[in-house]
Structure 1
Amino acid sequence: MPGSSRRSGWPSGAVCPPPRSAVYHYFAKWRDDGTDQTIHNLLRWQTWEKHRRSADPSLVVLDTQSVHAAAGVPSDPTGRDAGKKVPGRKRGLAVDVLGLVIAVVALAASHSPVARTGDRRVSTAEGRFLTAESLAFLGVAAVPRREVLHLGPPKGAVMRLLKQLVPVALVAFVGSAIVGAVQGSSLLTLLFGVATAVLAVLVYARVVRWSERRPPVEVATRGATRAITRGALIGVALFAAVIVNIALMGGYRIDGLGSVTSAIGLLGFMAAAAVTEELIFRGILFRIVEERTGTWLALAVTGVLFGLSHLFNPHASLWGAIAIAIEAGGMLAAAYAATRTLWVPIGLHFGWNFAAAGIFGTEVSGNGATQGLLHGVTSGPALLTGGEFGPEASPYAVVFGLLLAVVFMWLARRRGNVVPRRRGATATVTP
């Protein structure tokens, strides 16, 4: 049925295949969790048994080739082939006597077939990966079940940044203008705010898939609700801790209830702000800068940019921008580094902002007074309360935000998500 094949995304002539997107979804999933390698092994074993051979081959044909490393590649993942006098890397292919592939690996050129390297871990960033089930044929004594070797990020970082940043920023700009125009209606603000957030995610996913030729796993729908909820609870709890400490010092008090309808409108407004800002600053800027400079430098650079972007707010101040760079720019980037999903920082960002404006009725990032569920009043020295910029410029917010960033970076390091600083490459093999 040619019509069906066209609708499913396959070339015409195919006989009723599943939708192409579904096929690719399972391919990517099986590739990442090792199912593809398991299937490959089972099919190979069945072929051996069909030819009345043992499931474990007694003879393996191995061929290796040493190749020069590209200019700028660090010395850690490379070496020098003592026999062929070639500095770089060594690629190997192992097949059985039937010609079936057993393993494909890439190692430092200095690696010897009789080497004993022990178990090791490969630190990776996002990009393209080559997997190998076994290195035993190279003489490695302790072989990890599945080793991942990073081949580097897609080339053309500047063009990728522009291809992703321009469409997402356009959605953010237009959505912000529409939400601002309908702020008199809480219901319309909620609807257009949520619509802006959803559209921004869809556009981001589309441009990432187009410009990087990969599934946008950082905004995968699976587990999104749970991650957003977890992040939002952390954000609300964090701001609550800040406002409680300010209140204990006499800088905040509650003068009755606020407006429920206003809080409903703030749900949409804060959803649009949290999603678009996280997609731009963490999803695009941080992620692409991290590929080239490593996690720590990317965290610092994008944190500064995030703080500077708040200088354009009506009641902005230099100290407020510095505070935002530390407590929000650094903390949210650390949250992404620890989880490698944008849903947690999006939830955290939304929870923090909505708690500030929609619950406690305080000013957010110098954007003017808001009316939330509570009628909150701040008073006292600006150093304590944050002044016209809001509680985000208080020392409590900076300290608590910094502490949470430290926790997230500890988690990122423990999970192997910290990308080291490098010159011209994006992977380091660590013993």
Structure 2
Amino acid sequence: MTLSRFRSLPAIALAFLLTGCPSDDYRDFGSGDDGEPGGGDLIGDDARRAVLADIGAGIILPSLRAFEESADTLQSAVTAHAAAPAQAQALDEARAAWRAAMQRWQRNEALQVGPAGRNTGLDATPGGAGLRDRIYTYPFRTPCSIDQAALDDAAVDENTAITIRGLGALEYLLFFEGVNPDCPPPDGADLAAKRAQYAERVTDTIAATAGELVARWSPEGDDFLSEWSSAGAGSGTYMRPQAALDALSVALFYVEKETKDRKIAGPTGIGATGVDPCGDANCPERLESRLSMTSGANIRANLAVFRDVFTGVEDGMGVNDLLRGIGRDDLADEMIAELDDTLAQLDALEAGFDAAVLAIPSNEACINASANPDGGGVPACALHGYIRRAMDTFRGPIVAALSLATPNAAAGDND
């Protein structure tokens, strides 16, 4: 949404200048023409709740429902593959279903609020139930342990290690061909059949969790959507709308810490806080979805949902409306332009991000392209430069302008 529903209040802006910090009054988003609240505009907590409601109903719940649909299709395809593990067509259909499900889940990676979010640790989120980890646990995956679980006919349930379940394990089971030289199976083992059977059990858990997430959020189920939308006005989870916005902010930092640092800086060899430089021109082994060659599609889904939350969808409100409501159209426009530049650079990688990483000529050329992305240098590394610009705008002036929370994992980062 590009047109704001709000108007700035000069008296409030003056109060901000006098105090030098964002007072509670300054965080009222909009006013009437006479300088007093009114004029039919939403202000303050009503504005925050309106943004939360539109994001919840227009983005979060639809994204979960879309993944549930793909997970059901995936379950059917993998079940058919398990019944005929030697049949090429069944495997191809299972792989195609995995790709479709993975792209839909990648939108939810940046929306880990409420039941999908963490329920323990420093960055636990209000209402968190840890359901995301039953579906995807990037970057945690141990291929040899996956093969061992398959050979052992291991069950997949809440006690299963996160390194051998979820969409990451399923990629290995469906796309890795032949014997893993690091852990060859015993003589006589039918590894292909065992992998297919374990893949079926992994997929059953994914599909069940997808259904549980939708049930938790939907009005027909536990209706967490109402908890989210009524923050500070009846919600038992969020005492203030700002608390829900803070949870959303922490979730969106996924694009800073995981998409930018781990998914792009890691394999390109640039390095970031918590991600060591690889010492070579590139590190393709760090690509998120290297076996399926879909790492770039994952990145795009992360960026696209971030942009949707920021702008709003289908005439709904987004985070940009809160900025425009305090007269910071400049920040809103800057953020949108930088996200669009990043998406355009990603889309320009004709052979995809995975192939572009393999084409990096040297670490020096990569770092230079990241520092000057407009210079037409190494494409995969220029992508890092573009996303860094966008995330610097978000984690700096936008977080400050809206007094948003940041995750503990991002404290002190200067990447």
TM-score (norm 2): 0.29
TM-score (norm 1): 0.28
